[in-house]
Amino acid sequence: MNDDGQRLYGALGAALVIIPTFNEAENIESIVARVRSAVPAADILIADDNSPDGTGNIADELVAGDSHVKVLHRAGKEGLGAAYLAGFRWGIEHGYDVLVEMDADGSHRPEELPRLLTALKGADLVLGSRWVPGGRVVNWPKSREVLSRGGSTYSRFLLGLPIRDVTGGFRAFRAATLEGLGLDAVSSQGYCFQVDLARRAVEAGFHVVEVPITFVDRELGDSKMSKDILVEALWKVTAWGVESRTNRILGRKNL
For residue 208, what are the CA distances in angstroms to 4, 27, 36, 50, 201? 20, 30, 26, 33, 7
Does the pLDDT at position 149 exceed 90?
no
Return the minimum-mean-pLDDT range out of 21-35, 47-61, 106-120, 218-232: 218-232
User: 144 versus 94: which is more confidently predicted?
Assistant: 94
Domain assignments of the chain as residue spans, ordered by start: 15-250
Taking the complete model, does pTM exceed 0.85, yes or no? yes
User: What's the pLDDT tens digit per position in 156-181?
Assistant: 888 889 999 999 999 999 999 999 99
Q: For domain 15-250, give the fold.
A: Spore Coat Polysaccharide Biosynthesis Protein SpsA; Chain A (3.90.550)
Report the distance separating Cα 20 and Cα 95, nearest Å.
20
Query: What is the dihedral angle through the alpha carbons of 98, 101, 102, 107, rounded to the nearest 10 degrees?
Result: -130
User: What's the pLDDT tens digit per position in 205-214?
Assistant: 999 999 999 9
